[in-house]
């Protein structure tokens, strides 16, 4: 009688399967030598037997049906089948006589009614083991989800602590991730630059290449970084620590939605940014090529013009270099010298401390609302478990309550760390203005230039080939007078001291903030800084007179 030896292990990881399968082969060889069995083939397979469809197993059965072999040798019946269909096929082949014998080193079998009955029980036990294991895994998975633990590998920036059984922040990688979010939010990095920086720091794909743009977008939209994760269409509140503030995450989402552009139009950097100043229609772009007979070459030109879709319009086209030059000027007009920005950022930090002292009442109220949401979630869960609420309704309402709860938590964090919602926009405003000169002077950065322009201006209009911008709040104030660089060059040490006094008197009516002997100062200089100080209403300046040892002029020099 001829036998086919069948060996199987249910994993596709070859480095983990070699020892197990080799052990089966060796055990079967020793067994067949003792039993004097003729083996015509060793059929090896690395696939689960939980579901039908194993190719090697099906080939073994076909050879049995053809009469090429009359028996099968395997380590145990659970190597042959863990589902009712495959187990039924083997029993049927025994019933029809095409399969005469089964041999197992670890299991007794004889081709008799009792033997087939015992074999059926063995197959049933194998199926029960798989089903029970599946239920246990699902039960454990649900418990992990209820505990707020993501049941898989965490995203870049986190590591899994096996001893504590939780995801923890990677102190080095998390700083890189947070920096990427911040740089994208203030338009210093685009998606390509993020991919490049992450690649240089070791964040790459399995094939060793840098992340694609789609992968960068998935990384920037991963809510795991703000404490949420989605599993099986249901949102869960994670218990892992977060290092990306939700307001920063939301700003990145806004920028991603704002910067979505048709792939075919990517070559036109300023498409979708500007409208016609005469008719209000959108400004479109197109390529033109000029051929030179003498050199047999061609030069490409990009023109921007009104689409004229709303009504008749007499506006003419403008070449991209001219438009780009004007756009750079609109950015440089609101640029803030780094020294000034850094000092104002320090004053902003002082105001944060003041705001924190008045935020305790709001925090208590928000914490009460969080508690109310927890009670609603528990009531919702009870209704779902009782069967009075359908699954889809439960998931929808739960996700809604989770979103509201996360927003409440974020408000609490803002109040505890920043004191008020105006501080975040003010900080971003100063940082953006600080980056303006760098952005305006950079070369070959048309795409980043357009993104930055959207951050500082709400509307751009083109009339008679001249660009006009409606700046957003704060930036409009910066552009009322000449640029910061021009003012700094005109100001003297004496004028800057008086400039400080004038600004402090503007923001602090208390006499203690008034300098004793103010010098005369150019109205141009006072206008610029007092205008800036009123741009965000609540922004207060710390008096230089109360900071001994500081050179007042150096604080404002460009």
In tens, the pLDDT along 319-350 reads: 989 999 999 998 988 888 888 888 888 888 88
Domain 2-144, CATH number (from 1.10.132.20, 1.10.10.410, 3.40.50.1390, 3.40.50.740): 3.40.50.1390
If you compute the radius of gyration of the chain from its CA atoms, what whole number of angstroms results?
Answer: 36
Are 73 and 3 in contact by the 8 Å Cβ rule? The answer is: yes
Are 3 and 99 in contact by the 8 Å Cβ rule? The answer is: no
Distances (CA, A) of 95 to 91, 113, 119, 141, 399: 6, 10, 13, 42, 55
Are 66 and 72 in contact by the 8 Å Cβ rule? The answer is: no
C-alpha to C-alpha distance for 254 and 250, rounded to whole angstroms:
6
Provide the residue-wise pLDDT of the chain in tens; the chain has 558 residues: 999 999 988 764 444 444 478 888 888 999 999 999 999 999 999 888 888 989 999 999 999 999 999 999 998 898 999 888 999 999 999 999 999 999 998 888 888 888 889 988 888 888 888 777 777 777 778 788 878 888 888 888 899 888 888 889 998 888 999 999 998 888 778 888 888 888 888 888 888 888 888 888 888 999 999 888 888 878 888 888 888 988 889 889 888 887 665 444 456 888 888 999 999 898 888 887 777 767 767 777 889 999 888 888 989 999 989 999 999 998 988 888 888 888 888 888 887 777 666 667 788 888 888 888 888 888 888 787 777 888 888 888 888 888 888 888 878 877 666 555 677 778 888 888 888 888 888 888 888 888 888 888 889 999 999 999 998 877 887 775 444 444 433 333 333 333 333 333 333 333 233 222 333 333 333 344 444 444 444 333 333 333 333 333 333 333
Distances (CA, A) of 116 to 79, 95, 103, 461: 16, 9, 13, 86
User: CATH 3.90.1750.20: does it fit domain 177-260?
Assistant: yes
Are 526 and 502 in contact by the 8 Å Cβ rule? The answer is: yes
Q: b/e per residue, 119-153, with b = 16+ CB within 10 A? A: beebbeebbeebeeeeeeeeeeeeebbeeebbeee
Residues 6 or more apart whose CB falls under 8 angstroms from that of 120 comprise 87, 91
pLDDT at site 366: 85
Distances (CA, A) of 226 to 182, 221, 223, 423, 521: 14, 10, 5, 20, 49
pTM (predicted TM-score)? 0.42
pLDDT at site 11: 60
Are 411 and 246 in contact by the 8 Å Cβ rule? The answer is: no
Distances (CA, A) of 55 to 2, 10, 51, 64: 21, 13, 12, 14
C-alpha to C-alpha distance for 376 and 401, rounded to whole angstroms:
8
Kindly list the domain boundaries of the chain, sorted by start residue: 2-144, 177-260, 265-337+427-478, 484-556
DSSP letter for 22, please: H
- CA quadruple 71, 73, 78, 82: dihedral sign: negative
pLDDT at site 380: 83
């Amino acid at each position: 009688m001829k036998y086919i030896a069948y060996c199987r292990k249910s994993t596709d990881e070859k480095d983990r399967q070699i020892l197990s399968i080799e052990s089966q082969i060796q055990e079967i060889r020793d067994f067949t030598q003792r039993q004097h069995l003729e083996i015509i083939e060793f059929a090896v397979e690395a696939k689960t037997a939980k579901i039908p469809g194993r190719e090697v197993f099906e080939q073994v059965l076909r050879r049995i049906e053809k009469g090429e072999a009359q028996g099968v040798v395997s380590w145990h019946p659970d190597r042959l089948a863990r589902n009712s269909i495959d187990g039924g096929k083997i029993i049927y082949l025994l019933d029809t006589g095409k399969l005469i014998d089964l041999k197992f080193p670890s299991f007794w079998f004889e081709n008799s009614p009792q033997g087939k009955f015992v074999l059926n029980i063995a197959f049933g036990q194998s199926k029960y083991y798989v089903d029970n294991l599946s239920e246990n895994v699902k039960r454990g998975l649900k418990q992990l989800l209820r505990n707020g633990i993501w049941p898989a590998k965490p995203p870049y920036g986190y590591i899994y602590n096996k001893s504590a059984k939780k995801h923890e922040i990677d102190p080095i990688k998390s700083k890189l991730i947070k920096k990427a979010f911040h740089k994208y939010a203030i338009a210093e990095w685009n998606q390509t630059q993020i991919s490049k920086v992450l690649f240089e720091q070791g964040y790459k794909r399995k094939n060793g290449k840098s992340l694609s743009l789609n992968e960068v977008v998935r990384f920037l939209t991963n809510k795991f970084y703000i404490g949420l994760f989605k599993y099986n269409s249901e949102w869960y509140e994670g218990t892992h620590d977060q290092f990306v503030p939700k307001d920063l995450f939301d700003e990145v989402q806004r920028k991603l939605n704002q910067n979505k552009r048709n792939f075919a139009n990517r070559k036109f950097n300023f498409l979708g940014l500007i409208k016609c100043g005469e008719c209000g229609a959108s400004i479109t772009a197109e390529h033109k090529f000029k051929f030179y007979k003498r050199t047999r070459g061609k030069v490409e030109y990009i023109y921007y013009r009104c689409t004229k879709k709303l009504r008749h319009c007499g506006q003419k086209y403008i070449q991209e270099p001219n438009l780009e030059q004007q756009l750079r000027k609109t950015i440089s007009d609101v640029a803030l010298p780094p020294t000034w920005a850094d000092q104002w950022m320090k004053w902003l930090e002082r105001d944060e401390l003041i705001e924190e002292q008045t935020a305790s009442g709001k925090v208590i109220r928000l914490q009460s609302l969080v508690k109310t949401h927890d009670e609603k979630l528990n009531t919702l869960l009870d209704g779902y478990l009782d069967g009075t609420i359908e699954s889809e309704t439960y998931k929808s309402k739960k996700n809604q309550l989770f979103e509201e709860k996360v927003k409440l938590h974020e408000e609490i964090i803002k109040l505890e760390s920043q004191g008020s919602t105006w501080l975040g926009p003010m900080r971003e405003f100063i940082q953006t203005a600080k980056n303006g000169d760098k952005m305006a002077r950079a070369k070959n950065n048309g795409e980043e230039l357009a993104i930055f322009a959207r951050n500082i201006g709400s509307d751009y209009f083109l009339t008679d080939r001249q660009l006009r911008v409606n700046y957003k709040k704060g930036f409009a104030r910066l552009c009322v007078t000449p640029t910061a660089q021009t003012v700094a060059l005109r100001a003297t040490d004496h004028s800057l001291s008086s400039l400080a006094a004038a600004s402090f008197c503007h923001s602090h009516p208390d006499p203690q903030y008034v300098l004793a002997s103010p010098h005369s100062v150019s109205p141009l200089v006072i206008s610029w800084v007092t205008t800036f100080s009123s741009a965000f209403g609540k922004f207060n300046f710390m008096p230089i007179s109360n900071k001994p040892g500081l050179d007042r002029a150096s604080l404002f020099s460009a």
